[in-house]
Structure 1
Amino acid sequence: MKRYCLALDLKNDPQLIAEYEYWHKAGNGWPEIKKSILDAGIIDMQIYRTGNRLVMIMEVGNQFDPMEKAKADASNPKVAEWELLMSKFQQPLAWAADGEKWVLMNQIFQL
């Protein structure tokens, strides 16, 4: 098993942040998105927020391949629709590459 931590900012607007959280509450997310996550070999996913900064923690199985997940997402119309909806709320980090939303974080400490 492997862990990925990623970061992304939301637009700093309380109403947009509240709406983003609404879409991520249990029962409000789209089942097709959950299926695409599980089908990729992601075992657990959590998103935390402070202010407008998000941190996502993913626990993945050995078969998980981020490039394959990206390819599958690119060919999934429901994922594209979800990403378009989420782009209303999200803004890339200043150091993100062009077109990059979630930025992979480097682990710098472990107890």
Structure 2
Amino acid sequence: MKKYCLALDLHDDPTLIAEYITHHQNVWPEIRKSIEAAGIKNLEIYNIGNRLIMIIEAEAHFTFEEKAKLDAENPKVQEWEALMWKFQKALPQAKSGEKWIVMEKIFQL
């Protein structure tokens, strides 16, 4: 099993943040299926203010490159991503078009 932690910011607007949370309490079934099809076994998103942290536990064969390829071929995922971009803003460290940034683990007990 592989484990990743990623970060992303939302636009600092309480109304948009509340709407984003509501969308994630009602994730489309096609999005859930695409996550599972990529080899992700568990995915959690945490929120504080306009900051999001995502924790992914994935099968050994999982790669972000393969997930991106599958997502690009899935019209429903593209529709979801376009909708989510309304709420999200790239972190300063993000490359062009990149949303979620993989964080570096610096401590483990």
Q: Which runs of 4+ in 1 moved over 2 A?
A: none
For 1:15 and 1:88, the matched residues in 2 are separated by 12
Match of 2:14 in 1: 14
RMSD: 0.6
Match of 1:63 in 2: 61
Question: Aligned pairs, how many?
Answer: 109
- Return the match for 1:30 from 28, 31, 43: 28
Please state if 1:41 is matched with 2:4.
Answer: no
Secondary structure class of the residue paired with 1:100: coil
For 1:29 and 1:110, the matched residues in 2 are separated by 31
For 1:86 and 1:20, the matched residues in 2 are separated by 7
State the one-letter code of the partner of 2:20. Answer: Y
- Return the match for 1:102 from 66, 91, 100: 100
Q: For each residue in 1:32-79, what CA deviation from the matched residue of structure 2 results, as whole angstroms up to 9, or x when unmatched?
A: 000000000000000001110000000001121211110000111000
User: Percent identity over the alignment?
Assistant: 61
State the one-letter code of the partner of 2:90. Answer: P
The gaps in structure 2 that reach 5 residues or longer are none
Secondary structure class of the residue paired with 2:12: coil
For 1:64 and 1:96, the matched residues in 2 are separated by 21
Q: For each residue in 1:2-31, what CA deviation from the matched residue of structure 2 results, as whole angstroms up to 9, or x when unmatched?
A: 101000000000000000000011xx1100
The gaps in structure 1 that reach 5 residues or longer are none
For 1:29 and 1:107, the matched residues in 2 are separated by 28
State the one-letter code of the partner of 1:104. Answer: V
Match of 1:93 in 2: 91
State the one-letter code of the partner of 1:108. Answer: I
Q: CA deviation at 1:94?
A: 1.1
